[in-house]
Structure 1
């Protein structure tokens, strides 16, 4: 996966990160995002936390262009970490710009009815439910927990 050149407005930035650790203690570091790190008891938890860490690191919606994997391999510090057992992982960097964009999608009528029912049961709009489901699919975690967190936040 090559990540050089300019992104369009609809393209999501992805950063290569280094994952290292052992059962019960995993860490993720971003060579192109100094100070952005994440930890987790499992690989999945560390990767979820890494997505949040890179999102927090990005400032003012400006996403610096990350280096390609080939460029990173040439970096002596990265090469040393890889030699010590770290592995490359790709982490999506979603910029939270609070600017909703209308999207027209097509799906089976029965699935749409199920989405509407589930959204209503959770106290969410269809859009909020679909956004929550998309985030769960991209970042991992529990959709049920995400819906609960949104409901709590919106209740305050």
Structure 2
């Protein structure tokens, strides 16, 4: 299964956002990290649906090392928590 790197930004009490360097404009959020992580696959699914409707596909995910080497994202990865989000989720892929 592909895994997209997500950057978690804790903006304060009850405000956590998560975004994907490989999926511009695809974000997830919540009151805490767990909530943001829980809704992340749904955010990717919605993003993928919009791309499909436009006749495009999800770009392939880059590895964490590839993103660390990209000057556009290196500071974000260094200054925030990076996690891997599986898409499609394993349970969904088995259906």
| TM-score normalised by L of structure 2 | 0.76
From the two aligned structures, give the one with the greater strand fraction: 2
Corresponding position of 1:70:
65
Identify the structure with bigger relative contact order (alpha carbons < 8 Å, sequence gap 6+).
2
Residue 46 of structure 1 corresponds to 36
Which has the larger share of helix? 1
CA deviation profile, 1:78-104 (whole Å, cap 9, x unmatched):
211133x31111112228xxxxxxxxx
Residues paired across the two proteins, number: 85
C-alpha RMSD of matched pairs (Å): 2.1
Equivalent positions of 1:1-150 (< 5 A) are 12-21=1-10, 22-58=12-48, 59-60=51-52, 62-83=57-78, 85-94=79-88, 134=91
Instruction: Please report the TM-score for the alignment, with normalisation by the length of structure 1.
Output: 0.49
Q: Which runs of 5+ in 2 are unaligned?
A: none
